């Protein structure tokens, strides 16, 4: 019998963590509007935006630490 459905993801690609945050209705509407403008789901937009900002922040700190010699 043939396999049905989407192939299973590698364990490294599975999203098993959960981050929750509270926002006002106005904040949620604003975030949803930004996601809509990018034609992405709310979850995908928030995830990618947070990861982008986190990567930039960590890179800045690594650069500062390298300049300090540690």
Domain limits of the chain?
24-68
Among the residue ranges 16-20, 35-39, 41-45, 53-57, the one predicted with the least confidence is: 16-20
Q: In the structure encoding, which two tokens stand for residue 50, read together? A: 């947070």
Confidence band of 69 (pLDDT split at 50, 70, 90): confident
Q: Taking each helix axis from N to C terminus, what angle separates 42-68 and 25-37, rounded to the nearest 10 degrees?
A: 90
- Full-model pTM: 0.75
Q: In the structure encoding, which two tokens stand for residue 69, read together? A: 């010699």
Phi, psi (degrees; rounded to nearest 5) at 60: -60, -45
Mean pLDDT computed over 22-41: 98
């Amino acid at each position: 019998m043939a396999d049905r459905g989407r192939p299973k993801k590698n364990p490294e690609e599975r999203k098993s963590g959960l981050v929750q945050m509270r926002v006002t209705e106005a904040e949620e509407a604003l975030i949803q509007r930004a996601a809509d403008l990018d034609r992405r789901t709310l979850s995908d937009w928030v995830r990618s935006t947070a990861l982008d900002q986190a990567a930039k922040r960590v890179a800045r700190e690594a650069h500062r630490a390298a300049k300090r010699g540690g």
